[in-house]
Structure 1
Amino acid sequence: MEILSQIGAWMDENHDSIYGCGRSDLPKPEYGRITANAETKTLYFHVYENSIGALPLIGVRKEQIDSIRYLASGAEVPISTSWTHSDYPDIVFADLGADPVLPDPVDTVLAVKLR
């Protein structure tokens, strides 16, 4: 019952990343999975592990992105502008903060709204 309760609580906050979504055509990232909703032009990056520094969103170009938010809270996640990413001009990095700790230790969802 406890596990079902936890799944229900997660679904209450993150259902948009499941219902109406399918597989993304982007490559599977090492840190999780990606679902996509073509109707809303949103990619959902399911992040299962903390990153060291900014999180790479491989397959998405900076000019395609309208916004990045934590799905559960709606809090904005900025695009990283750190000089450490200058060697990777074709990769967008989500800035999760100086010492990133994921809000959900099992599956934190980033909603990437495309233009």
Structure 2
Amino acid sequence: MRHKEHTQTSGSKTEPMTETVPHAVMLDYPTEGEVITSASYTFRISAPKNGDKIEVSINQGEWLPCRQEGGYWWYDWSGYEPGEYQIRARMHAADGKMKLTMLRRFDVKTRA
């Protein structure tokens, strides 16, 4: 399944082309429906080599930069509360396009 948002010009504003392509950039962890019980968690993202920058957004919040190491991209997360969450990753490709993952849902159940 592909979802594309083409470059649009509205008045003087031009927006970049964005594609939602499940296999171009992929959230490896957390898995769909995973329950996180630890005080910190590291998200892992797989992306093709033409990815210049990977970011994640948790609960549709701001985009947070990931670090690249060992062939993957990582985001270290901590300071969260118990609850239901969703995450999405995006890749800035060398050709200027952005590629998005599908939303991934997971839960946090930490002990007090």
Which TM-score applies when normalising by structure 2?
A: 0.40
Larger % of strand: which?
A: 2
Larger Rg: 2
Larger % of helix: which?
A: 1
Which TM-score applies when normalising by structure 1?
A: 0.40
